[in-house]
Structure formats: structure tokens, C-alpha cells
Amino acid sequence: MTSHLNRRSLLTRSAAAGLLSVPAVSALSGCASGGGDDNSVERGETSDDNPLGVDPDAELEVVIFDGGFGDQYALDAEAIYQESYGQVAHTKTTEIQTRLQPRFVQGEPPDVVNNSGADAMDIAALTRNDQVYDLNELLDAPSLDDPNVTVRDTLMPSTVEMGQFGSEEVWRLNYAYTVYGQWYSRTALERLEVEYPRTWDEMIAVCEAAKRQGMAGWTYAGVYPYYFNFTLYPFIGKIGGGDVLKAIDNLEPNAWRHDAVRAAFEAYHELAARGYILQGSPGMTHEESQDEWNGYQALFLPNGSWVENESRRNTPDDFDMAVGPPTGLDSSDAMPFETLWTSASEPFFVPADAKNPIGGLEFLRVMLGRQSARNFTELVSSLTCVRGAADDLELPPGLASAKQAFEAAGENLLVPRLPDWYKQLNDEEVGGAVAAMMAGDIDPDEAINRCQRAADATASDDSVQKFQHV
Amino acid sequence: MEDTTQRAGKDVTGSGGRGSEDRLTPGMRLRLAVAFVLPPRFTPDSVRYDRRYRKLDQYRFIVWFLAAPLLVYGIFVVSPFVQAFFYSMTDWTGYSSSYRFTGFENYERMWNDDKFWDATRNSLLLLVVAPVVTLALGLFFSYMLTAGGRRRSEAVAGVTGSGLYKIVYFFPQVLSLAIIAVIWARIYSPRSGALNAGLDAVGLGSWQREDWLGSSWAIWCVLIVLCWSFVGFYVVLFSAAMSSIPNEIYEAARLDGAGRSLTFFRITFPLTWETVRTGWVYMGIQALDAFALVNVMVPEHGMDVLPSYLFSKAFRDGQAGYATTIGVALFLITLVFAAVMMRIGRRDRIEM
């Protein structure tokens, strides 16, 4: 899921605020020394049923992020694991970092961590200190359902890639599968008697039609303006090709000054300049923008496929939610209209210092089995990274449309890495520049300059770890 | 303490041997030292009857009583501070027990970090403006509540309904800062918020903004909330200070024909100055913090204050070492502020 400030983390942070306030320096100075005992579990005998060699008596400790997906799916997977192996100690929390950081510092982490939410740990920082177990061993193991197929071959595209940080090691497994795009209501489009826009001229026409009916074309989460990146990045990729996005991810000089970037920024700026953006969007949270969108105040919303579940309570019955690929510019686009940003999300990893890392791998192998994957989709209405697991399931309209869009895209998938490689650059700098442009404070040139300056600053900042596309 | 010193005193006079040994021999020195660290009942007689014993007994008492709290303070307050100075010179991520010593690299980076200076500027602005506004409002309200009224029967009285106001002013203090921040974030919300709606209602629709908290207005939005949430506390604090001013002084001023403002500046303010100054330091520290408000209300791409910048470096970017460097800077600013406040405006306490 995405990271927002929920009520719980707010209270944690205000507690942290108390710590940080007067004796600000003392807050961070908890003793950084100390080490764990080395009482890890030995690898057991391997067999066809137990290809990784899990010690059948060893305990397994699993920590699940208790966010939008809850933890029932994990409990169900743990039950399957326990049929063959040792007891599972299950913890759910919304405060992954707050709870687990001290244990990592002590060298006594749990065996599986669902590292998600606003309080997730910086996995890049963990890999820098060799604190994460390489999952390649799991990926090369036979899959749960068919011993002739490796786990790797059961995964959706980009799943392995999303676990890599510039090298062959796979540090994490992103279990859910997200489709990003322009989310809309089929009912709203039908009422306006318009088709989903495929080119920017059509987009302008649709927005104009909406404006005549007193409806805005777009709304977005101005407080978290990086939501705009969900459609902006694939839009850029579509106009100029995937290499433009790769150059941006690699922090190459002048990557942001590419014509495709300028075209995309100018197109979005046009929305604001023509008054197609819902008034007040620059100051809205994601929930406020979703509520306005659900209330037919605006047509399009840049978002990811979790939005259906998240906005479930406010979605009218006749809404008929759907997602489309980002509208292209025109016929000169480098990639077809169906081009889509899809990516595996909801990360799981196995700490290197875990007592029972092999058990951790096996648990993930169980989760990647069809039974667990289908269970996940049914419970939380999200796709998983397991190929074809949701094929004959009945899906809610938004999710069904996301699946269709994914299938229509074929090979034309884009996976921008800026959001997870350089979170600060993506969320704060690019997000801030886009926010200022959409609020009408700066023009596209200035927004692009700000992005480029921020990218250059990140590139020359030694304290930020750098990654390259493999 | 009285008990032991009295007994000691009696013993000294009872023995009549005072002044028997004026020069401190090494042996006596040792015995005094031993007596200092041992409980009184183990004090050797030769020491007990020494004339220096009274002083020793006094200091022994003080030191023994302070030892425990000082130890706790040293372990839980001083030592983290000292450690912080050390960690500020490392590249510690905050995730593992390994780090590298990097000397003053973090400090150099901080010196050239524009975002750090932006955050510092915001923090200093709050530090200067928030106490002035809050204390001025607090003084004004509490003066009106305790001595602002004009009634025939009494020389000094609050305005009508002052008892109710006192309670109402205190309301925000009951809420936690996090809750206040959430409520005010709703007020600033562009479409459903009370601020934009209120501006519209009074015909100032052109003053409406689409993103109060994401724009350069954010610092003023935070300032208002900060003042709003603390003013009640100072009303109560100053009311207490003002009620200790004897009525005769007010009566005399009234007889001499002084009005409300003259009475305030000539009598009330000088007589509550000590409280105001203490309040100033406290409010300044609150303003330097402002973390909960900024973290909850202001979007990530919006403005930062020092503590929120520190927080994002430590817990978002995994740079606990650098964050500690910022913490050291914040510590120094706090220290300088407190020192300045305690120095300026120091005057003799007026006895009443």
C-alpha cells in the first residue's frame, strides 16, 4: 500500500515528537552498539516436499503490516506452513519500523517482515549493512504447486525486478500487484456521452464536456502530489519510450530535459491552465480527493489499484469503477496507448540475521502458492504477483478492469524505480514541483528545472545510495 | 539533618576538646575522607570531636542525598547528550550496530545544506514570533480576567464572566497536540475546511487559497495553531501571578487616576515579569519544537522545521548520523536561546 499518515502512526510520531523536542539530541542516541547471540537454526534435510531444507521443528516468526490488507491472508498461509513445519509466531502491527528497528540493531530480527506502510524500514539502508537475505535461493526453488516450474517462473513481470536494487541479488518479494493509471467511473463517462480519451486532444475534449456539466476533469491528492507520478511517469514513457524513464531512474544528467518530459509536463499544465482541475485539489489528502471523485465531482484520478478497496465505503453502487492507461499525447507516441505502469508492491523480506531464514523462505514459497495467492485476492481484492492466480475468480469492477488493462498491455509495461530507489527525490522534490505547477505557482519549464536540480543534487549526494537499472 | 548536626554539636561542646588539633595531618585527612563516605554512625570519635566535623557533616548530607538523582540524571540525560555528539560524527544508518567514524563530515554537509537552513529559518521565525504573540495575548487576557473589570463595589475585578472565560481559554490545553493538529488540518482543508468557507461567508472569497499548508503560508498557519493551543496555559499561569499582587497597590493607582493600560504597564507587568520571563523560555522551546503540528499538518513537500527535518533524515532516509548532527545544532540553538533569555531582563525581584 502507499504511505500515508494514519491515526496510529500519528500518535507514535507525536510521542516521538516529545522525545525529539527539548533534548533533541538525545532522541537519536540510543545505544547503537551490541550484537545478537548466534543461535540460528541449522538447515535441515532437503527433500521433494522440503526443497529448501527447513528444520521441521524450528519456530518461525512472522511480522505482518496491519494496514489496508489486514493480516488474515497471512494467518491462512501460516496455517498451511504449520501443517508441515514448526509453530509460527505471528505479530501484526502498523508500526514496522518503530517495533523492529531496535531488534535489527540488536541483531535479533524476526524471520519474515512485511515491510510496508508509512512506518516501513528503508530496505536500501538495510542492504547496505548486509542485513537482508538474498531471495534468489527461493526464486530458483521449485514452486509449491508444480515441482517442474521454479518459483521465479510463476511470478508476474517486474516482481523480481522490484526486489533488485542495482544488482542481481533480490532483496525483497513484493506480493501484491498494482496497476497504476487514470481511474474513472464508467457511469460518469456514459453520462457525458464520451469515450475514454486515448490522445491528449481527446482528453481536452472530454474535460471540456465535463466542465460544461459543472464537473471537473481531474482531481488529485495535492497533499501527496507524488500520486500524480502514477500517471505522469507512464505518460512520459509512452511519449518518449521506456529509456527516458530509465535515464531518469539512473539520475543521468539532463534526463528531465528530454522532450518527452516537457511534452508531458505541458500537457498536465494545460489541464490546470484551462481550469479542468477540481478547485481545492492542491490542498487535498488522498482520501479527500477520492471522496470528491466518488461524488462525481471530477472524472479522472491518478491512483493505483488499491483505490477500489480503500474508497469502498464512499463509492456509489452505480459508480462502475475502472482504470485506463494514461492518455497518450498523439500518434507520434513511442509506445502504444495500452502501455501501462504495473508493479509488484507490498514488500516482504527475510532478514539476514534471522534465526530461521530458511523457514522464512519457505513461508514465502507457501504464500506464492496458488491457494494462498487466490485467498489473498479474495480477501483483500488485490491482484498478487503470482501469474494467473486470479484467472477464474470473480473480481469487483475496478480490479477486473485493472486485470484487463494489464492483459491488454502485453509486453508494454513500464516500471519506474524512482519511487522506491529515491523516495525523497520522488515524493518531496518531483512531487513538490508537480504540485506547484498544478497549483499554478510555476510554469512547466520551472517545474522541469526543479526536478533536474533535485535529481542532480541527489546524484551528487554521497549519503544517498545510488542504483542503476541492471 | 537537624538531628545529626544537633547531636554532633552537643558532642562537640560536651567534650570540651575543640581546637585540640588545628593542623591537618595526613592521618586526620584520611579519617575525614573515610567519614565522608561512610554513614554517620561509623564516624570515628576522633573525627566526631574535630571542629571541622560540622562542615563535613553538612556536605556529607548534601552529597549523599544528591547522589541518586544525579546518577539517574547522568545516565539518562547527560550520557545520551554526550553520545549524541559522538554519533553526529558517524555515518550511522540507525538500522544496524555498525557505523563508520567520519569526523566533521556531517557538520560540513549541514553547513552547505539549503534545506537545513530553510528549516532553521522557519524554526527561528517561530522562536521569535510565537512567544511574543502568545505571551502578549496571554497577558492581555489574564489582565482582563483579573483586573480588567470596573465595578463600583470592588477596586479590582475581572471583566464580567471572567470565571467562564478562564475555563474556556484552557480548553485547547486539554487536547493533545496531535489531535489539535488533525483538527486544524481539517480547518485549513481547501474544499471542506472552515477557513475557506469562513472567508467566503464574510465576502473575502478572493483571499481563499487552494493549499494553505503546502504553500508559503504554511509557516503562518502553523504559527496560528501554535499560539492558539498555548495561549490558554499562559492565561492561567499569568492569572495566578497577577492574583498575588496586593489589591492596595491597585487601589492606590486607581486613586491616583490611573486607567487600565497605565495600571497594566506600571503595576501588573513589572510585578509579573519573573513569570513572564519563565513563560517566555518555555514557549520558546515549544516553538522550537512544533514537530507534532508540522509533521501532521504540513505535507511532505511543504515547509520543514528543524525537528521535522531531523525526523525525516533519521527515519525516512536512514541517516541517523546526520540527523543527530542536526539534533546537536538544535541543542545549541536551544541552549543559546535559554541563556539569552535568562540574561536579558534580569532584574531584582520586587518584594511584596
Position B51 scores a pLDDT of 80
CB contact under 8 A, A131 and B291: no
Higher pLDDT, B137 or B206: B137
Higher pLDDT, B161 or A404: A404
> How large is the average pLDDT for residues A199-227?
95
> How large is the average pLDDT for residues B218-247?
91
Cα distance from B208 to chain A (closest Cα, Å)?
Answer: 10
Assess whether pLDDT exceeds 90 at residue B144: no
* Interface size between A and B, measured as CB pairs under 8 A: 200
Rounded-to-integer distance, Cα B89 and Cα B1, Å: 47
Cβ contacts of B236 within 8 Å, gap of 6 or more = B142, B166, B169, B170, B173
Assess whether pLDDT exceeds 60 at residue A35: no
Assess whether pLDDT exceeds 70 at residue A240: yes
With CA atoms as reference, the chain A residue closest to B326 would be: A25
Rounded-to-integer distance, Cα A114 and Cα B228, Å: 40
- Of A26-35, A307-316, A419-428, B151-160, the poorest mean pLDDT is in A26-35
CB contact under 8 A, B317 and A122: yes
Chain A residues touching residue B211 (CB < 8 angstroms): 222, 282-283, 435, 439
Rounded-to-integer distance, Cα A99 and Cα B276, Å: 41
pLDDT digits (tens, 9 = 90+) for A273-318: 999 999 999 999 999 999 999 999 999 999 999 899 889 889 999 9
Position A141 scores a pLDDT of 95
With CA atoms as reference, the chain A residue closest to B209 would be: A280
With CA atoms as reference, the chain B residue closest to A14 would be: B292
- Of A219-233, A443-457, B109-123, B259-273, the poorest mean pLDDT is in B259-273
Is the Cβ–Cβ distance between B311 and B266 less than 8 Å? no
CB contact under 8 A, A35 and B97: yes
Rounded-to-integer distance, Cα A242 and Cα A261, Å: 12
- β-partners of residue A61 are A89
Residue A147 contacts B, CB cutoff 8 Å: no
Residues of chain B with CATH 1.10.3720.10: 109-343
Q: What cell was used for A136?
A: 534468489
Residue A470 contacts B, CB cutoff 8 Å: no
Is the Cβ–Cβ distance between A239 and A260 less than 8 Å? yes
DSSP state of A25: G
Position A450 scores a pLDDT of 95
pLDDT band at B344 (very low <50, low <70, confident <90, very high): confident
Position B261 scores a pLDDT of 84
pLDDT digits (tens, 9 = 90+) for B25-39: 888 888 888 888 888
Sketch out chain A's domains with CATH numbers.
Answer: 40-173+347-395 (3.40.190.10), 179-342+416-459 (3.40.190.10)
Q: What cell was used for A268?
A: 498536465
Is the Cβ–Cβ distance between A208 and A200 less than 8 Å? no
Rounded-to-integer distance, Cα B296 and Cα A13, Å: 9
> How large is the average pLDDT for residues B42-70?
84
Chain A residues touching residue B100 (CB < 8 angstroms): none
Cα distance from B333 to chain A (closest Cα, Å)?
Answer: 11
Q: Alpha carbon A458 to chain centroid distance?
A: 21
> How large is the average pLDDT for residues B142-170?
76
Rounded-to-integer distance, Cα B147 and Cα A158, Å: 72
Assess whether pLDDT exceeds 70 at residue A12: no
Mean pLDDT (chain A, rounded): 89
Per-window interface: A 222-241 vs B, CB < 8 A: 222-225
Assess whether pLDDT exceeds 70 at residue A353: yes
Position B347 scores a pLDDT of 63
> How large is the average pLDDT for residues B240-267?
86
- The three-state secondary structure class of A340 is strand
Assess whether pLDDT exceeds 70 at residue A4: no
Is the Cβ–Cβ distance between A62 and A73 less than 8 Å? no
CA quadruple B246, B248, B253, B259: dihedral sign: positive
pLDDT band at A38 (very low <50, low <70, confident <90, very high): low
Position B136 scores a pLDDT of 95
* Domain B109-343 coded CATH 1.10.3720.10: yes
Rounded-to-integer distance, Cα A299 and Cα A207, Å: 8
**Mutation target vs B (from A3, A4, A11, A20; most B CBs, 10 A cutoff):** A20
- Of A113-127, A174-188, A257-271, B7-21, the poorest mean pLDDT is in B7-21
Assess whether pLDDT exceeds 70 at residue A333: yes
Assess whether pLDDT exceeds 70 at residue A460: yes
Position A185 scores a pLDDT of 96
- Of A96-105, A333-342, A449-458, B32-41, the poorest mean pLDDT is in B32-41
Position B297 scores a pLDDT of 92
Position A423 scores a pLDDT of 87
